[in-house]
């Protein structure tokens, strides 16, 4: 059973994309667009303070008639961040995401953010794991 740490290694991204709580929502959305990301961590130094997503923007800014250049990230971010340690299995991580209806999962070891995975990253990990099992079984059958 593979862990999220293995997926993080395969992503080959050392940088954790984030914004500060006092950034404007416009700045956060621009950063997401530039990075082609659906969410950003909200960090103060090394401390994880929250997460902001396209969903937050749609629900808390657009639908509320607020201006993204006048709204701060800390006003709309999700501050009760769900995270998992890097030694958790892919399947267990997917279960956490499903249970909490989230699409982005910070990976935290000893209060230190080590990465972020999307639901797509985890699904891809499961598909790769299953393909490896299929390949091994086919090789075994062929002798």
What pLDDT score was predicted for residue 95? 96
Q: Which residues contact 102 (CB under 8 A, 6 or more apart)?
A: 82
Domain boundaries, the chain: 4-142
Pairing relation of β-strands 112-118 and 104-109? antiparallel
What pLDDT score was predicted for residue 115? 93
Note the pLDDT tens digit of each residue in 1-17.
689 998 888 776 667 89
Mean pLDDT of the chain: 92
Strand partners, 109: 112
What pLDDT score was predicted for residue 118? 92
User: Token digits for 132?
Assistant: 């490896």
Note the pLDDT tens digit of each residue in 13-49.
667 899 999 999 999 999 999 999 999 999 999 999 9
Note the pLDDT tens digit of each residue in 111-135.
999 999 999 999 988 888 888 888 8
Pairing relation of β-strands 18-19 and 39-44? parallel
Note the pLDDT tens digit of each residue in 50-87.
999 999 999 999 999 999 999 999 999 999 999 999 99
Q: Which residues contact 79 (CB under 8 A, 6 or more apart)?
A: 49, 50
What pLDDT score was predicted for residue 12? 65
What pLDDT score was predicted for residue 143? 77
What pLDDT score was predicted for residue 133? 83
User: Is-contact 27 69, C-beta < 8 A?
Assistant: no
CATH of the domain spanning 4-142: 3.10.580.10
> Quick one: how far is CA 131 from the chain centroid?
24
Q: b/e per residue, 16-53, with b = 16+ CB within 10 A?
A: bebbebebbbbbbbebbeeeeeebbbbbeeeebbbbbb
User: Is-contact 74 50, C-beta < 8 A?
Assistant: yes
């Amino acid at each position: 059973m593979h862990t999220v740490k293995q997926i993080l290694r395969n992503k080959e991204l050392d940088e954790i994309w984030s914004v500060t709580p006092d950034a404007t929502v416009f700045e956060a959305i621009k950063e997401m667009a530039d990075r082609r990301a659906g969410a950003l961590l909200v960090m103060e130094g090394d401390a994880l303070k929250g997460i902001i997503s396209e969903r937050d923007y749609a629900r808390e800014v657009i639908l509320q008639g607020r201006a993204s250049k006048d709204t701060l990230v800390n006003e709309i971010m999700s501050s009760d961040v769900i995270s998992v340690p890097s030694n958790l299995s892919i399947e267990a991580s997917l279960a956490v995401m499903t249970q909490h209806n989230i699409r982005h999962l910070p990976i935290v070891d000893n209060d230190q953010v080590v990465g972020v995975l999307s639901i797509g990253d985890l699904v891809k990990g499961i598909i790769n794991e299953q393909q490896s099992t299929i390949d091994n079984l086919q090789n075994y059958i062929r002798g």
